[in-house]
């Protein structure tokens, strides 16, 4: 449980299991990441509206940046010249980058996929680009990602079983090529991504193939793409028990607080999602008692804080009335404060989860959480 | 020179004079303001893109908010219910509010002026409002301004002498009514505003009438409205020598660094301007060697800081290349960082000015400043 410089590979320490949940730590070249962990998203090498010092204050120990956005602007070589994403943006802790696969798949008619990879047109200037497992891995190297993700196809939902099988098989061939292209460095690592849509036997096949290749961690991809929470939880329940216990498990792009709690119950260790940052910019705040839309007129004269139990600057220094005013007046400070609050809420959630697993009372935490959620939802998101 | 709670009126301490410049301090209920001082503008009770803690870190000891904007949104009574501007926005130091006069005069066909005051339509929703000396003073009281400004007409430029005389006379009648409406509190004060356009004898008449009314400070209005730096300096030279030496002198809405230095030479103590904040939001940075447009492509690969001698976060933690990227990617963090830098530059300028007056070498400071400006202007604003 030390925090000393790492002289070996990025690795996972499993500290305790409790009711399916895992307390652990990912040890990296840039410090430990306590798990279950939530990674704020800094798409273009900036967590929108936040200074990195503020992100750190929320309790975040790792952030995520997007390969697709950074390869187009400012460009991977330019990022490398500026010292990599971490140095460039003055984020001293670990950084995970996605592979770019998810974004280029979303480009629809702007992209063309074959065995080699994906050709696509930039949404910025229409310029033509190619992403392959090798190129994605090389770009992530240039970005100086502490954790590099394998290049894969995020299988669309819904998919027939044969579509899902074909897509998964391609992702597994790409995973092997991604691993081949990965340049190992002390305290850095690469994660493979489990695909297979909602089909347990495909998920199992995918896991077996990834284990055979061997990664420092394993992500669960192709969920939170429209299948709904119930089916996501079912798929997780059929997937995580087959994943190596001594490696971190990362559920990509998830999610709402209740998604996270349910996934932790099913053995997931890491999460990322734009929800707290994006919601903050539109005036939606997460609180222990559900969502608050600060733009709602009923907050205009409210001298109370957003959440009196929260220690973030938005809650300790300002009234709901002032936050409401900042959003009405379209002041930048408003969205910064609500983003700060939401990221604090998410990190508090993760910290409470870790604490309860550590004490062996995660079941109790879950009951309390569900009770609060049931009482809450005062202004559903 | 103490910083203890004030048990008397807001007052000015003149510490030293040097080559026309004055080193001093304005003592208020919420601490001292070292002069010459620059006040960052927080129009709608937020210095755009900045947290108040960041504004404080730049060295600012007082900020300015706009009565016109706040009376319309969120409304003066609402601000009062939220504890006044300072409490609402968590700014613990003094606050100056303008009278709203300048903004309503700018509304053109949307406003109608008579002896009583100005009727105008809100730029937000077209609703009809009235500002008079009494109403403006009452609103500023509700906003909890540490320094309240008299309600006046900012004489347009150019104005014939008879137009300027008529306008000034109205402002003087309004100044008397503003003073009458002012509710005195310990450590709070009200400033009268000298008008008279570019006509020395009108300025002198205005000063005499304001002195007769008696204020805690005197502002110079109706400058920086298109007359140019030379005529502004000439007018200042003909104005400040007649102003009470034991009261602070505030040049409203000024200005560029060279405007400030020239005005300090002519005995001005206080300034406010949107230039550092507005420029910061558009990617224009002030440096010791002139202006830098960070959006310029030549900064894209530049690993050097904006200004290596500057101690602000933008200069100590980031490269020009990264700042360039943030602006290209339209990341909020970029405009926050450049605003932070510009406000730091302005406060450093004021601090250097004060230091040189204190040492009796203000002339030397001015020569150096002019030399740097001449070498500089690498990318004129």
Test B82 with A336 for CB contact under 8 angstroms.
no
Nearest to B322 among A88, A300, A301 (CB): A88
pLDDT of residue B7: 67
Say yes or no to pLDDT of A221 above 70.
yes
| Residue-averaged pLDDT of chain A | 95
The token pair at B228 is 């140019």
For residues B249 and B254, give the distance between their C-alpha atoms in angstroms, rounded to a whole number.
Answer: 13
Neighbours of B374 (CB within 10 A): 9
**How would you classify the pairing of strands A128-131 and A118-121?**
antiparallel
Interface check for A332 against chain B (CB to CB < 8 A): the answer is: yes
pLDDT digits (tens, 9 = 90+) for A251-279: 999 999 999 999 999 999 999 999 999 99
| Å between B281 CA and nearest CA of chain A | 11
Residue B88 with chain A: CB contacts under 8 Å: 318-319, 321-322, 325
Test B325 with A45 for CB contact under 8 angstroms.
yes
Q: Is the dihedral of CA B87, B92, B98, B104 positive or negative?
A: negative
Q: Which residue of chain B has the CA closest to A303?
A: B82
Interface check for A329 against chain B (CB to CB < 8 A): the answer is: yes
Q: Is B327 helix (H, G, I), strand (E, B) or coil?
A: helix
| Å between B78 CA and nearest CA of chain A | 6
Walking along chain B (381 residues) 10 residues at a time, the average pLDDT comes out as 64 98 98 98 98 98 98 98 98 98 89 96 94 98 98 96 98 98 97 98 98 98 96 98 98 97 98 98 93 96 96 98 98 98 98 98 96 66 35
Contact predicate B193/B218, CB 8 Å:
yes
Test A328 with B73 for CB contact under 8 angstroms.
yes
Selection from A253, A246, A259 nearest residue A271 by Cα: A253
Mean pLDDT of A96-125: 94
Contact predicate B287/B310, CB 8 Å:
yes
User: Cα A347 vs. chain centroid, distance in angstroms?
Assistant: 12
Test B321 with A88 for CB contact under 8 angstroms.
yes
Distances (CA, A) of B17 to B13, B130, B211, B367: 12, 42, 22, 18
Q: Which residue of chain B has the CA closest to A45?
A: B326
Q: Which residue of chain A has the CA closest to B91?
A: A317
The token pair at B357 is 């007056």
The token pair at A211 is 């284990």
Interface check for B282 against chain A (CB to CB < 8 A): the answer is: no
pLDDT of residue B379: 45
Query: Can you give the length of chain A in residues?
Result: 381
For residues B89 and B55, give the distance between their C-alpha atoms in angstroms, rounded to a whole number.
Answer: 12
pLDDT of residue A170: 98
Nearest to B321 among A82, A319, A322 (CB): A82
Residue A81 with chain B: CB contacts under 8 Å: 301, 303, 321
Give the residue from B47, B51, B144, B313 with the most A CB atoms within 10 Å of its CB, the best one to mutate: B51
Q: Which residue of chain A has the CA closest to B72?
A: A329
For residues B166 and B189, give the distance between their C-alpha atoms in angstroms, rounded to a whole number.
Answer: 27
Q: Is A207 helix (H, G, I), strand (E, B) or coil?
A: helix
Interface check for B295 against chain A (CB to CB < 8 A): the answer is: no
Interface check for B313 against chain A (CB to CB < 8 A): the answer is: yes
For residues A214 and A204, give the distance between their C-alpha atoms in angstroms, rounded to a whole number.
Answer: 15
Nearest to B331 among A48, A324, A329 (CB): A48
Task: Provide the b/e sequence for B13-45 (b: ≥16 CB within 10 Å).
Answer: eeeeebebbbbbbbbbbbbbbbbbbbbbbbbbb
φ and ψ at B312, to 5 degrees? -75, 160
pLDDT category at A131 given cuts 50, 70, 90 is very high
Q: Which helix (H) or strand (E) holds A27?
A: strand A21-28
For residues B318 and A235, give the distance between their C-alpha atoms in angstroms, rounded to a whole number.
Answer: 43
At what angle are helices B133-142 and B161-181 packed, to 10 degrees?
A: 50
pLDDT of residue A372: 85
Give the residue from A79, A330, A332, A341 with the most B CB atoms within 10 Å of its CB, the best one to mutate: A332
Mean pLDDT of A210-227: 97
Give the residue from A73, A333, A334, A341 with the most B CB atoms within 10 Å of its CB, the best one to mutate: A333
Nearest to A325 among B74, B331, B334 (CB): B74
For residues B341 and B326, give the distance between their C-alpha atoms in angstroms, rounded to a whole number.
Answer: 15
Test B88 with A319 for CB contact under 8 angstroms.
yes
Look up B98 and say whether it is catalytic.
Answer: yes
Residue B318 with chain A: CB contacts under 8 Å: 88-90
Say yes or no to pLDDT of A376 above 60.
yes
Distances (CA, A) of A180 to A150, A190, A214, A371: 10, 11, 11, 48
CATH class name, domain A11-273: alpha beta
Test B82 with A321 for CB contact under 8 angstroms.
yes
Q: Which helix (H) or strand (E) holds A262?
A: helix A257-265
pLDDT of residue A49: 98
Neighbours of B3 (CB within 10 A): 9
Q: Which residue of chain A has the CA closest to B333?
A: A49
Q: Which of residues 58-77 of B touch A (CB under 8 A)?
A: 69, 73-74
Say yes or no to pLDDT of A1 above 90.
no
pLDDT of residue A109: 86
Q: Which residue of chain B has the CA closest to A80?
A: B301
Residues of chain B with CATH 3.20.20.105: 11-273
| Å between B375 CA and nearest CA of chain A | 29
**A74: preceding bond cis by omega (within 30 degrees):** yes
Test A78 with B331 for CB contact under 8 angstroms.
no
User: Cα A172 vs. chain centroid, distance in angstroms?
Assistant: 21
pLDDT digits (tens, 9 = 90+) for A53-74: 999 999 999 999 999 999 999 9
The predicted complex's ipTM stands at 0.96
Give the residue from A44, A57, A63, A82 with the most B CB atoms within 10 Å of its CB, the best one to mutate: A82
For residues A286 and A331, give the distance between their C-alpha atoms in angstroms, rounded to a whole number.
Answer: 20
Mean pLDDT of A170-176: 98
pLDDT category at A377 given cuts 50, 70, 90 is low
pLDDT of residue B327: 98
Test B82 with A45 for CB contact under 8 angstroms.
no
pLDDT of residue B377: 52
Q: Where are the beta strands (DSSP E) in chain B?
A: 11-18, 21-28, 31-35, 37-39, 63-65, 95-97, 111-113, 118-121, 128-131, 147-149, 189-194, 217-220, 249-251, 270-272, 284-287, 290-293
The token pair at A312 is 């973030």
Test B321 with A74 for CB contact under 8 angstroms.
yes
Interface check for A316 against chain B (CB to CB < 8 A): the answer is: no
Residue B73 with chain A: CB contacts under 8 Å: 325, 328-329
| Å between B189 CA and nearest CA of chain A | 26
Contact predicate B300/B321, CB 8 Å:
yes
Test B51 with A82 for CB contact under 8 angstroms.
no
Contact predicate A253/A260, CB 8 Å:
no
């Amino acid at each position: 449980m030390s925090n000393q410089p790492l002289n070996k590979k990025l690795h996972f320490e499993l500290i305790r299991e409790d009711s399916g949940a895992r307390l652990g730590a990912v040890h990296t070249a840039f410090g430990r990441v306590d798990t279950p962990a939530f990674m704020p998203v800094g798409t273009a090498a900036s967590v929108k509206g936040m200074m990195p010092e503020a992100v750190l204050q929320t309790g975040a120990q790792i952030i995520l940046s997007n390969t697709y956005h950074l390869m187009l602007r400012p460009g991977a070589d330019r990022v490398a010249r500026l010292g990599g994403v971490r140095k460039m943006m003055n984020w001293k802790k670990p950084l995970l980058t996605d592979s770019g696969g998810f974004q280029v798949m979303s480009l629809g008619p702007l992209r063309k996929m074959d065995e080699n990879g994906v050709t696509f047109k930039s949404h910025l200037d229409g310029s033509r680009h190619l992403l392959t497992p090798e190129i994605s891995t090389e770009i992530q190297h240039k970005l100086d990602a502490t954790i590099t993700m394998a290049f894969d196809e995020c299988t669309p939902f819904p998919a027939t079983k044969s579509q899902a099988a074909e897509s998964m098989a391609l992702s597994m061939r790409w995973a092997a090529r991604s691993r081949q292209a990965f340049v190992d460095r002390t305290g850095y690592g690469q994660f493979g991504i489990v695909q297979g849509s909602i089909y347990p036997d495909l998920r199992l096949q995918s896991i077996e193939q990834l284990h055979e290749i061997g990664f420092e961690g394993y992500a669960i991809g192709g969920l939170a793409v429209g299948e709904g929470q119930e089916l996501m939880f079912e798929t997780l329940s059929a997937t995580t028990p087959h994943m190596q216990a001594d490696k971190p498990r990362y559920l990509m792009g998830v999610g709402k607080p209740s998604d996270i709690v349910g996934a932790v119950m099913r053995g997931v260790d890491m999460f990322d999602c734009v929800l707290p940052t994006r919601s903050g910019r539109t005036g939606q705040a997460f609180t222990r008692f559900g969502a608050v839309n600060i733009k709602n007129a009923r907050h205009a004269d409210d001298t109370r804080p957003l959440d009196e139990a929260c220690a973030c600057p938005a809650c300790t220094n300002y009234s709901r009335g002032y936050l409401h005013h900042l959003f009405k007046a379209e002041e930048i400070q408003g969205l910064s404060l609500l983003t700060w609050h939401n990221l604090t809420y998410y990190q508090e959630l993760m910290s409470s989860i870790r604490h309860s697993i550590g004490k062996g009372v995660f079941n109790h935490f879950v009951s309390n959480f569900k009770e609060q959620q049931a009482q809450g939802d005062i202004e559903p998101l």
